[in-house]
Amino acid sequence: MDHLRPAHRPWLAALLVVLGLFGSQQLAASPRPVVVDPSVELAAVANRLAGFEEFSAPGIADYDAAVETHFRRYQDHPAVQLLRALRQQHGIGYSDTVALALAATPHRWQPRQPLPEWLRDMPGHWTLDTAHAYLRAMAAFERDTDAAGFFRGQQRFYHRVETELATGLQGWPQIAWFEQTLGPQPGLRLQIIAGLLHGRGNYGPRLRGGDGSVQMYAVLGVPATPRGETTAWPFAAMQRLLVHEFAQSWVNPWVDRQGAALQPAATSLLEARIEQMRAQAYGSWQAVTYESLVRAVTRGYFQDRRDSDSVGLLFQEDAARGFDWVPAVTDQLRGDARGGRWLNEGTAATMAALFEAQASLLHARAGAGVTTVSLARQVPAAGEAQVDAALTHLELHFDRPMGRGVGIFGDRNPTFTAAPQWDDDRRVLRLPVVLQPATAYVIELNSPGMPGGFVGKDGTVLPAQVWRFRTRDAPAQ
């Protein structure tokens, strides 16, 4: 996860289940589909006072100001000093404190389950000693700061936030899709939490009950909101994030069970992109495998909903983060399905083969000193929203002479009226088209799951990416 720690993600991918709104027997109903959790808020307050940058971004300005007014006098409280030391000595931050706050009883800050068990389920930067020390310090911090009084004074604001999020996220995701595609999950519950001091950080901790049940949490950060303005919740991005997080409850246990079959190939894949993966805290074969499959399941979810906008955005994000093999993984999961189920014992062998093939390709390119092709210009420009529908040719201008291959994919392309046309030195490709007014087009350039496509004469490859533009409305008659 972007994570920096086991479950941080920027606005990108989606996960949401508004409990009690789906009618699924696999999820226990929640009295409130979205909550502001005082323990999560207090942990974030302490992190902010300790100077943790991931909790210092602007949020909802009026609330930020109220937090500052009430708590700033405690910036040298022993709990805050402990956090600074834990950051320096153990790298504590991001989802670490969020997850441990949710693993503790409210107000008393006692573990809900034995900490050694919790530490095995939620890998992070805690040790048994540091976790106990943190919980003791936070109990004192809550008492000494009169946090309960502050939270009581914010109840009307919290209720407004909870109502806005519950309304905007209602019905996400479709639980039946996960049950049909990945199998039933008895005892799975989810609570959505608004993380008001988390900036763009989003976290997905979980807590396992003694009866085998799993309590999932989707802690969602908030967009910056100036004083007096209405919060513009990015509901579409939140939905993608919720689907992504929800998929982990199926993918991660399956990966753990199939580790012997997956580990060698996943290790090769990790090594082929080690620096980029480590920079995102995916520095183990398990993390790369979890994330590859979760992203593939998320892509499949939106494909089946015929949501090409989300599919295109996921494609772009996956490629940008180095997971350009995700479309191939989704296709492999569909091809391996047995009885409609994507994850089975046979999947492990074919997934390992796919990972090994991708790793070999990446190692070969690195060994040859291969760089990547770039686009010098696109006509219309990527993201342009007022394209003339009378345009008869699209153009791609490359930074070097290209081979003859063309890699265009997707289901929201314009109508192509003739074969693509290269100029004499094969640096410019013209695509004859017919465009419709007031239409959004999404063209996928190259696919990580397909050989060939846009490849330079020198063997370099155009990274998979999405070209999006929209034509303007037809003139009034």
Domain that holds residue 183: 34-220
**Are the C-beta atoms of residues 211 and 230 closer than 8 Å to each other?**
no
Distances (CA, A) of 192 to 10, 156, 161: 16, 18, 12
Range name among 45-49, 232-236, 285-289 with the lowest pLDDT average: 232-236
Pairing of strands 206-208, 375-379: unpaired
pLDDT for res 9? 37
Q: Burial letters for 360-380: b for 16+ Cβ neighbours within 10 Å, e otherwise? A: eebeebeeeeeeebebeebbb
**Are the C-beta atoms of residues 35 and 194 closer than 8 Å to each other?**
yes
Question: Pick from 170, 203, 220: which residue ends a domain?
Answer: 220
Residue 275: Cβ within 10 Å count: 8
Could you tell me if 133 and 200 lie in one domain?
A: yes
The residues near 120 (Cβ < 8 Å, ≥ 6 apart) are none
Q: What is the percent of the chain with per-residue pLDDT over 70, rounded to a whole number?
A: 91
**Are the C-beta atoms of residues 205 and 193 closer than 8 Å to each other?**
no
For 269-303, write each residue's pLDDT tens digit: 999 988 888 877 788 999 999 999 999 999 999 99
For 87-105, write each residue's pLDDT tens digit: 999 999 889 999 999 999 9
Confidence tier at 8 by pLDDT (50, 70, 90): very low
Could you tell me if 264 and 125 lie in one domain?
A: no
Question: Pick from 329, 344, 367: which residue ends a domain?
Answer: 367
Could you tell me if 82 and 44 lie in one domain?
A: yes
Break the chain down into helix, strand, coil percent, rounded to 5. Answer: 45, 15, 40
* Mean pLDDT in residue range 406-430: 91
Confidence tier at 156 by pLDDT (50, 70, 90): very high
Could you tell me if 171 and 268 lie in one domain?
A: no
Q: How far apart are CA 414 and CA 434, in angstroms?
A: 6
Residue 395 lies in a domain: yes
For 337-376, write each residue's pLDDT tens digit: 988 899 987 899 999 999 999 999 888 877 776 678 889 8
Residue 308 lies in a domain: yes
The phi, psi pair for 263, rounded to 5°, reads -60, -50
pLDDT for res 146? 98
Whether residue 121 has pLDDT greater than 90: no
Whether residue 107 has pLDDT greater than 60: yes
Record the tokens describing residue 397, joined without a space. Answer: 């201008």
pLDDT for res 10? 35
Cα angle vertex 231, ends 229, 234, to 5°? Answer: 145
Confidence tier at 204 by pLDDT (50, 70, 90): confident
**Are the C-beta atoms of residues 395 and 430 closer than 8 Å to each other?**
yes
Residue 232 lies in a domain: no
pLDDT for res 318? 83
The phi, psi pair for 332, rounded to 5°, reads -65, -40
Higher pLDDT, 202 or 108: 108
Whether residue 7 has pLDDT greater than 60: no
Instruction: Determine the number of helices (DSSP H) and then strands (DSSP E) in the chain.
Output: 16, 12
Could you tell me if 347 and 428 lie in one domain?
A: no
Give strand pairing partners of 78. none
pLDDT for res 474? 80
pLDDT for res 357? 92
pTM reported for the whole predicted model: 0.68
DSSP H helical ranges for 169-273: 175-182, 235-257, 259-272
